[in-house]
Amino acid sequence: MEMEWIVVRERIKECKRVVVKVGTSTITYPNGLLNLKRMEELAWVLTDLRNSGKDVVLVTSGAIGVGAVRMGMVERPTVMRQKQAAAAVGQAMIMQIYHNFFDRYNQTVAQVLLTKEEVGTEERYQNTKNTMETLMELGVIPIVNANDTISTEEIGISDNDRLSAMVAEIIGGDVLILMTDIDALYDSDPKRNPMAKRISCVDWVTDEVRKMAGDKGSAFSVGGMLTKLQAAEICQEAGVKMAIVLGEDPTVIHRVIAGEDVGTFFNSKR
């Protein structure tokens, strides 16, 4: 890593507010059941971060997948009302597990379910910001997801990559960490090209960077690298730094905060 980047990454150590986003593939096994080991590790890493004096927000997916499995659906539902029903069941389930794991480390958590309106209208934006601020002042870790049960838009259009970037913007976060099933952005598809090179740092999301992402649904990950780059664009405009890292080992969060060269780091001008 070049000297200039070492300096930029090192500055992360001073960050005050951290948003971490985990995808469905990070907190579940391929059969759709919860990966409890990973959820527990996540709970202790995030509590430890909070104990060290940082404000922490977790954005989690998983409601639809986990709810669908619980109700015996063999595949992730595609019909909207079934997705909404699955989300209603699964959201309660994942919150219960998170609550239990965080409670083990004496950490209080809160559930915050957001729709597009919260970022679209001034009044609701302020309400959301005030609630999040108050929770953090009180030492709570807010756990955020889209309100899939009441908002069809969230399932159809938005995704938790962009949602987490919006959350980081609302709370004035310093860094957003996207935990996913690929360890970084590569200059070409690493599953097809063994010579593909990891991109360590991105200064600005340009057309050249966008080309590296491939299409949605490419070999990269569930939501695709595309929505991650869209999240990066929201972050760079909002002055939030961002990292894409492999979700397999939640202690990677500590490494990002220590300024180590892991995953792909996106700079911002603030």
Closer residue to ligand GLU in complex, CB, 173/223: 223
Angle at 42 between CA 45 and CA 100, to 5 degrees: 110
CB 5 to ligand GLU: min, Å: 29
Question: Quick check: 222 and 161 in contact, CB under 8 A?
Answer: no
Q: Which stretch binds ligand GLU (CB under 6 A): 11-19, 58-66, 99-107, 231-239?
A: 58-66
What span, in angstroms and rounded, lies between the C-alpha atoms of 218 and 189? 9
Restricting to residues 142-181, name those near ligand GLU by CB under 6 A: 145-146, 148, 159-160
In angstroms, what CA-CA distances link 98 with 47, 141, 150, 189? Answer: 12, 11, 22, 34
Tally of CB atoms within 10 A around 13:
9
Closer residue to ligand GLU in complex, CB, 59/205: 59
Of the residues 12, 46, 63, 184, which one makes contact with ligand GLU according to CB under 6 A: 63
Does position 225 interact with ligand GLU (CB under 6 A)? The reply is no
The residue type of 101 is F
Closer residue to ligand GLU in complex, CB, 40/159: 159
Residue entry with tokens 């060269």: 261
Does position 223 interact with ligand GLU (CB under 6 A)? The reply is yes
Give the footprint of ligand GLU on this chain (CB under 6 A).
23-24, 61-65, 145-146, 148, 159-160, 223
